[in-house]
Amino acid sequence: MRHLLTASMPRDEAIGLLDLAEDMHQIQDRELKKLPALRGRTVVNLFFEDSTRTRSSFEIAGKWLSADVINVSGKGSSVSKGESLRDTGLTIAAMGVDGVVVRSGASGAPALLADWIGRPVVNAGDGTHEHPTQALLDAFALRRRIHGGAARGKALDGVRVAIVGDIAHSRVARSNALLLPALGAEVTLVGPPPLLPPAAADGSRLGVRAEPSLDRVIDERPDALMLLRVQLERQAGKVAPSAAEYITGWSLTDERLARLGDAHLLHPGPMNRGLELSSRAADSDRSAILEQVTAGVSVRMAVLYSLLASDHPSAELGGAR
Ligand code: CP
């Protein structure tokens, strides 16, 4: 059984997935956006947390590959009556579905589901743990920016990426800190000290380094800056610093943007304009944010195809068990 539960994967496998996503990306230029690869397959999107980008792009990806796609959310399903994750998963599997995409507020839920249901499972974001397809689409968009377009076979060797924000609670940061170094990138985790995980101080263990000062990192002229969302729904009033302190120390303001040079700007969305970054930064030609959204469809097509197409030659994906 093959799953995608983590962004931790060998370099060759990551490049192979990004290359397959490049093949899928060509569909964006077609008038008729439909491939027959998953005809007769059924995919369930099981979302226990809100989502715009991930849920829509998995649905589009499945439909463009001709799969039948069913959306199930926590609200409106029997989960709201108290049904457990295990019983929900077994119920969906019993209907004969071929794969499940799951987002959950509980770290580790996709791995449990993978053990229980006997179907390929894709982690679409679990708690503060991982968001592997987000990291893959970030790498895809950044690879295109760095290499000036489709870049089959290429990695991100020596590309200096700073990830800025609440590192400790970010599944996006964790998945990127696993995937980007595997592709050769040099990753710096930047954020308020209470929001940097203790392990980040020991860069040798993670293969990344930690730096509390965004201004010092900007002076180093990184190749890319990834601004993380301040997760207002998870930390309102519970986590220091305050919004005003955050803006002073870690927001990409217009003044910092002017000092940043030509760095590419990434943000997983949804953005809090004026908090993580200014509107000028978000809308500048250095921003790859909408390219990330487009990449999300291509990367998720590649993942679904890899896991569910009967004719796909690849044996394994990251997190395969
Ligand atoms: N980046 C991301 O996961 O966005 P959504 O919550 O809208 O899916």
DSSP string, 26-87: GGGG-SS----TTTT-EEEEEESS--SHHHHHHHHHHHHTT-EEEEEESTTSGGGGT--HHH
The listed CATH number (3.40.640.10, 3.40.50.1370, 3.40.50.2020, 3.30.465.10) that belongs to domain 11-130+293-308: 3.40.50.1370
Q: 271 CA to middle of ligand 1, Å?
A: 10
Q: Rounded to 5 degrees, what are φ and ψ at 192? A: -60, 135
Which one is predicted more confidently, 149 or 240? 149
d(CA 115, CA 321): 9
Query: Which atom in ligand 1 lies closest to the alpha carbon of residue 57?
Result: 8
Encoding tokens for residue 29?
């230029």
Q: Is 134 in the pocket of ligand 1 (CB under 6 A)?
A: yes
Q: 219 CA to middle of ligand 1, Å?
A: 30
Q: Is 132 in the pocket of ligand 1 (CB under 6 A)?
A: no
Could you tell me the residue ranges of all domains in the chain?
11-130+293-308, 132-292
Query: Which atom in ligand 1 lies closest to the alpha carbon of residue 52?
Result: 7
The listed CATH number (3.40.50.1370, 3.40.50.1820, 2.60.40.1930, 3.20.80.10) that belongs to domain 132-292: 3.40.50.1370
Query: Do β-strands 160-164 and 186-190 pair in parallel, antiparallel, or remain unpaired?
Result: parallel
Encoding tokens for residue 275?
């908090």
Q: Is 125 in the pocket of ligand 1 (CB under 6 A)?
A: yes
pLDDT value of position 320: 41
- Mean residue pLDDT across the chain: 92
pLDDT value of position 49: 95
pLDDT at 200 over 70: no
| DSSP-derived 3-state class of residue 93 | helix
Peptide bond into 241 cis (omega under 30): yes
- pTM, full prediction: 0.94
Q: 220 CA to middle of ligand 1, Å?
A: 30
pLDDT at 316 over 70: no
pLDDT value of position 80: 83
Judging by beta carbons within 10 Å of its beta carbon (0-12, 13-18, 19+), is residue 91 exposed, middle or buried?
A: middle
Tens of pLDDT, residue by residue over 295-315, are 999 999 999 999 999 766 553
Residue whose Cα lies nearest atom 4 of ligand 1: it is 53
Which one is predicted more confidently, 80 or 177? 177
151: Cβ–Cβ under 8 A, 6 or more apart, which residues?
A: 22, 143, 144
Q: Tell me the percentage of the chain whose pLDDT exceeds 70.
A: 91
Q: Rounded to 5 degrees, what are φ and ψ at 160? A: -95, 115
